[in-house]
Amino acid sequence: PETVVLGGLAPPALLERLAGAAELPNSVSARKDRVTPRIVVARGGQHAVLRGAAALAVSGVLSPRFGQIFTAKRQRGGDLLKGGDIAA
């Protein structure tokens, strides 16, 4: 990923400490011309998680491939709620 965003229910001070202490291995994203930090703390506090979940749901509905996510498993007669292989 271009950037990892830390957020959630943890106190902002803890998230800042985690972001500052994270050791990141060499990556294709470690470039000299990079403008965005590799790890950032979410702005918006605890509500950032809710907005992210809502954006993911909307993105799934608007995706032209949304229905294909479940089709193969349904055709095999599998249980859509078990198995953990549903991609978001």
Q: pTM of the entire structure?
A: 0.51
As a whole number of angstroms, the distance between CA 37 and CA 4 comes to 9
Element (H, E) at 52: helix 47-62
Residue 12 contacts residue 44 (beta carbons within 8 Å): no
pLDDT at 68: 64
Residue 19 contacts residue 7 (beta carbons within 8 Å): no
Give the chain's count of helices (H) and strands (E). Answer: 3, 2
pLDDT averaged over 10-residue windows placed end to end, the chain, 88 residues: 83 92 77 82 81 81 68 60 55
Domain ranges of the chain: 4-75
